[in-house]
Chain A
Amino acid sequence: MQYSLNEIEALCKRAARGSGLSWGLAEDAARAARWLASYGLPGPKLLASLLELNDRIRFSDVAPVSLSGAWSAPLGRMSPIIAGAAMSDCANHLLGGEDIVMHDVTQPLLIVPFASTAALSRNQSVQIFWDDVCLTTDGRTLSVQGNSDALTAEHTARLTSVCGGDMTNLIISVYRGEIDDMSWKRLSRFAHRTYAPATAESRASGAGAGLDGND
């Protein structure tokens, strides 16, 4: 079904939070899924798979151990949301010419939106490549070169981010996201965890019952 980008972001934020990510990372995850959806890429679906894989997992198990040298996570699979957020935080280094290399990244496509945020902040482009695919973004547009099957790889042994890159073979951005029903349901299941079960108190006063609405 087709959704607005705002709907996608709202659901993904709740879903990411429901899976145990902090609010700050949930916001980042949601923006990432929305950004990919706006290029017709399956960001929400990949996010649903990631959340299932890392459901309530300890954060430090799938986070980079250190931000110096090549990044890797203790569990042998790094969360693209956590790594992507850290890469975005380090945008000044990346755009200053320091390449970032990551080992064993889950759902690598989910990292690309973070490159976009970094690129936008400095009005430069950032290139990310893994396996035999290379994506370049200046924050406003996205270019894909190489084997597009690798875009949806579940895992890559090595991912590299570098400053620069040519914006050719652009993907057209769209304002709607096409999401299959199953992915939407998977995300909704996680989102539901963030909703408090109704109680007598919440029914009585949570929304501020008061004077009658009719006049």
Chain B
Amino acid sequence: MQSISYPSIRVKVSHAVTDTSASIERRSPHEVMQLSRLGSFHQSRLSFMRVLTRRMQREKWTFSQPVFDIDSNGVGHAVLCAHGPVRTYSLIAFAHDIPATQRSDRVIATAWDSTFTLFDGIPTPEDIDRLSKNVPLQEAGRVTERELSLSRANRSVRLWEHVVSSLAKGQQPDQDQLTSVGYLMRTTAVYGSGKFGAADREIIADRPEFSAPFQLEMLSVYLTRSFSRDLVQHMATLRGGSDAVVLDSHIARSIGIGNSTGLGMAPFILNHPVLFNNWITAREEAIHRVRRVSTAQQGEASIFRELLDRSLVSAERWHSVHPGQVTKIQSLMSDLALLQTHVQRENLIDDNPWDRLYRWALNSLTTEGQECLNSLLLEPYGHLVDDLVDSMATEYNVGIQIDGTKTLADLKDSLLQAYDWALAINWRLPENSARVWYVSAEKLEPRLGERCAESIEDYEQPLSPGRDAALLLESLQSWPKNTSIAEFLLRHPEHRHTVRRVQMAEEYPYAEIRDNTISATLLPIDMLRCKLSFFGAIHFDPRSDRWVRICLFGNAPYPEELANRDSDHWPYPDYQQIASCNTH
């Protein structure tokens, strides 16, 4: 098969801001922080996977595989090293042979096809020996500060066997089958930040390669994808001997890593309000900067049009059986078709072209299409927006200090400013407080229950900022306005968590989801999708309203291809795939 080359795209800087541009404002938190909108977010060039691949290409990272010791039963271990300009990181993979009955993606599983850790440096045989006794146990094992992550993956049973048997027989696997699944292995948890004894983020936060959020987790997944390709090839070669062929690189590239994500991820964005604010602020500022471009270059318009075409192909490959998602995918496809027609006749050069497009979309597209467009708008403008990545992380403890010397009048003002939406909800109606977030004793994992039907209210986690703000306001009403917040909290410690959030929202306007997170109609998958879009996930496939399957790094260049391929626009299916689709 021929190698694919992308059209070379050169972009001149063009961001003169006119008087008209000056009146273009960033979207308000009220507009953005709705669950239906957050649940429609798409990956963008600020997504963490893309931040990683850009950096690795820019810094000319190299890769090696010093150990690949796996037998014909698929049991053994391998080490994949990523060498950055200063440091080396190693994915240590343990491959296992588990019976099909034990293969489960639930976080409660106890056996996996492969288990992994990202090691800080190059492991010695003693390190590997130590880790071989712990990493396969996952939550039941312990790792140390030399380990940066802990993760596991299961094979896609039908695709794995299809690829192994095809290659062993000397044939390439069927592209359609590969496309319909999208991955050979799916991770079911990637733990970082000190979990199970791993290094705290503070240990590595000052390293440039990990300054953006979730970079080590993304590196771990990126190397895991590479491992899944190498392992499938290895198994095929062992089975087929001299008949076996090498997996075509183009087919290989279409393979990503699946990921199953459940409720555990949803509370994250509520429990890390400043971090979440920084992600949303970066994206909103990026959209804002592009909308303010008064005159676009032809090359910029071309990139936009090209990636819009490629987005449509991607949407066509997005499959789900979840009714809500099916509707969203249909909306996206008709939105993108409409957008395609619109931009064919539209001038994308003069007169704030991107802002005009943005405004057109507000009246013409669904939320799904609007957010896809917003991500696409950023694509031609790396020189304008990529620096925002530097503002997406946060230091530990930022925003936690309560200024108790302010008065209750100040507090009330802030509350009315950021939580007016919550005061419009009657929280006493059962449907508005229907759900309870709690942690189960059995699995120590976040759960969502029914307030009226289950005895769980005593265990409620503080994950309903809107209701809690309304309760705080009720308590404030009986206090003199000039009382200090510190005095108030001495009598009302139950509001301390919410007072902190209210003050945080002053400085971090996108910190809070401005929507009901305990409503009977809540779809936790909206929260999951929002977070996963920042990772760079595509093709969200909810398997219920509480867990979702996604694909990571599909179409991404493999380590050995990073130096020579497009490291920027890989999430969009390439031209050859478009041609192949058209042929079918």
Interface residues of A (CB under 8 A from B): 2-7, 21-25, 27-28, 31, 59-60, 63-64, 67, 82, 85-86, 88-93, 117-118, 120-121, 175-176, 192, 194-199, 201-203, 206-211, 213-215
CB pair B104 A213 closer than 8 Å: yes
Q: In the complex, A22→B499 CA distance in Å? A: 12
**Interface segment, one of B42-50, B362-370, B447-455:** B447-455
Instruction: Output the least CB separation between A71 and chain B (Å).
Output: 10
Q: Chain A: which residue is nearest B100 at the CB level?
A: A214
B489: nearest chain-A partner, CB-CB: A89
Of chain A, the residue at the smallest CB distance from B106 is A213
Interface string of B480-522 (1 = CB under 8 A from A): 0000111101110111111110000000000000000000000
CA of A6 to CA of B272, assembled, Å = 14
Structural contact, B403 and A210, CB atoms closer than 8 A: no
B459 with A6: CB separation less than 8 A: no
Identify which of residues 278-297 in chain B touch chain A, using a CB-to-CB cut-off of 8 Å.
Answer: none
In the complex the two chains form, is B496's CB within 8 Å of A85's CB?
Answer: yes
Residue among B100, B404, B491 facing the most chain A CB atoms (10 A cut-off): B404
B495 close to A196 (CB less than 8 A): no
Given contact pairs A117-B400, A207-B447, A208-B547, A63 touches B490 in the complex (Cβ within 8 A): yes
Contact B545 A208 (CB under 8 A): yes
CB within 8 Å of A: which of B89-116? 100, 103-107
B197 touches A3 (CB 8 A): yes
Q: Which residues between 131 and 157 of chain B lie within 8 Å of chain A, taking CB atoms? A: 144-145, 154, 156-157
- What are 28 A-B residue pairs whose CB atoms fall within 8 Å in the complex? A2-B144, A6-B195, A6-B200, A7-B197, A24-B499, A64-B490, A82-B490, A86-B490, A89-B489, A90-B405, A91-B401, A92-B405, A117-B400, A120-B401, A196-B449, A197-B441, A198-B443, A201-B453, A203-B442, A206-B440, A207-B443, A208-B263, A208-B544, A210-B543, A211-B543, A213-B260, A214-B103, A214-B105
Check if B203 sits within 8 Å of A175, measured CB to CB. yes
Q: How far is the CB of A35 from chain B (nearest CB, A)?
A: 9
Residue of B nearest to A208 (CB): B546
Is B193 positioned at the interface, with any CB of A under 8 Å from its CB? yes
| Residues B199 and A198 in contact, CB atoms below 8 Å apart | no
Tell me if A23 and B103 are in contact (CB < 8 A): no
Is B489 a contact of A214 with CB atoms below 8 Å?
A: no
B194: interface (CB < 8 Å): yes
List residues of chain A with CB within 8 A of the CB of B193: 6
- Chain B contact-residue range equals 35 or more
Once bound together, how far apart are the Cα atoms of A13 and B127, in whole Å? 32
A67 B448 Cβ-Cβ under 8 A: no
Give the shortest distance, in Å, between B126 (CB) and chain A (any CB): 18
Cβ-neighbour of A215 out of B157, B440, B450, B524 (below 8 A): B157
Using known A-B contacts A89-B402, A206-B448, determine if residue A4 contacts B544 with beta carbons closer than 8 Å: no
Q: Is the CB of B438 within 8 A of A24?
A: no
Which residues of chain A have C-beta atoms less than 8 A from B487's C-beta?
67
Whether A207 contacts B547 by the Cβ 8 Å rule is yes
The answer to whether A23 touches B440, judged by C-beta atoms less than 8 angstroms apart, is no
Residues of B within 8 A of A90 (CB): 404-405, 486
* B444, closest chain A residue (CB): A195
A24 touches B493 (CB 8 A): yes
CB distance from B494 to the nearest CB of A (A): 5
Residues of B within 8 A of A67 (CB): 484, 486-487, 490
Closest chain-A Cβ to B282's Cβ sits at a distance in Å of 24
CB of B158 within 8 A of CB of A215, answer yes
A32 to chain B, nearest CB (A): 11
Measured in the bound complex, the distance between the Cα atoms of B194 and A7 in whole Å is 6
A45 to chain B, nearest CB (A): 19
The answer for the CA separation of A25 and B400 in the assembled complex, in Å, is 12
CB distance from B14 to the nearest CB of A (A): 41
Residue of A whose beta carbon sits closest to that of B180: A215
Chain A residues with CB under 8 Å of B402's CB are 85, 88-89
Within the assembled complex, what's the spacing in Å between the Cα atoms of A110 and B445?
A: 29
Q: Which residue of B lies closest to A3 (CB)?
A: B197
Contact of B199 among A24, A175, A197, A206 (CB under 8 A): A175
Q: Which residues of A contact B189 (CB under 8 A)?
A: none
Q: Please tell me if the beta carbons of A175 and B200 are within 8 angstroms of each other in the complex.
A: yes
Q: A194 to B499: give the CA distance in the assembly, Å.
A: 22
Closest 3 CB pairs of A and B: A208-B546, A24-B496, A89-B404
Which one of A24, A195, A211 lies within 8 Å of B497 (CB-CB)? A24
B317 to chain A, nearest CB (A): 16
Assess the B544–A89 pair: CB atoms within 8 A: no
B439 within 8 A of A: yes
Closest approach, in angstroms, between the C-beta of B124 and any C-beta of chain A?
A: 20
Q: How far is the CB of A161 from chain B (nearest CB, A)?
A: 14
Shortest CB-to-CB span from A162 to chain B, Å, is: 17
**Partner of B493 from A25, A120, A206 at Cβ < 8 Å:** A25
Task: Report chain A residues within 8 Å CB of B449.
Answer: 196, 201-202, 206
Asked whether any CB of chain A lies closer than 8 Å to the CB of B571, the reply is no
A86 and B447 within 8 A (CB): no
B70 interface residue, CB < 8 Å from A? no
Give every chain B residue within 8 A of A208 (Cβ-Cβ): 262-263, 448, 524, 544-547
| A24–B489 alpha-carbon span in the complex (Å) | 10
Determine whether B532 belongs to the interface, using a CB cutoff of 8 Å to chain A.
no
Q: How far is the CA of A2 from the CA of B200 in the complex (A)?
A: 13
A27, B501: Cα distance in complex, Å: 12
Contacts known (A4-B194, A90-B404, A195-B444); A207 close to B262, Cβ less than 8 A: yes
Chain A residues whose CB sits within 8 angstroms of the CB of B440 once the complex forms: 195-196, 198, 202, 206-207
